[in-house]
Amino acid sequence: MSIWHLVILVVVAVVVFGTGKLSSIGPDLGSAIRGFKKNLNGEEDRDPKAENKLTSEASSSESRVRQDARERVSKP
């Protein structure tokens, strides 16, 4: 690829995404790579609030499934 191909590619990217989105891609990509590396090493960022929310959502969906099953069984 020549330098002109790269210039055209950059111009198209700026036109399509705009400068605001392109400037935020770098930090987002960096944080994604850091998170990926942490998970590879076995380190996890545990958020107790998020875990509680997931647990409550799972229990509420489980109770809905049980309720549906009871209704199906009780129908003749």
The CATH number linked to 37 is 1.20.5
Residue 2, token pair as written in the block: 């020549």
5 and 28 share a domain? Answer: yes
| Number of structural domains found in the chain | 2
DSSP state of 46: -
37 and 4 share a domain? Answer: yes
As a whole number, mean pLDDT of residues 37-47 equals 74
Contacts for 13 with CB less than 8 Å, ≥ 6 apart: 22
Which residue reads 């380190």 in tokens? 43
Per-residue confidence (pLDDT) for residue 9, from 0 to 100:
92
Contacts for 38 with CB less than 8 Å, ≥ 6 apart: 44, 45
pTM for this entry? 0.36
28 and 62 share a domain? Answer: no
50 and 71 share a domain? Answer: yes
39 and 50 share a domain? Answer: no
28 and 1 share a domain? Answer: yes
pLDDT over 90 (residue 60): no
Query: Read out DSSP for 25-41?
Result: HHHHHHHHHHHHHHHHT
Residue 40, token pair as written in the block: 């590879």
Query: Which domain range does residue 16 map to?
Result: 1-45
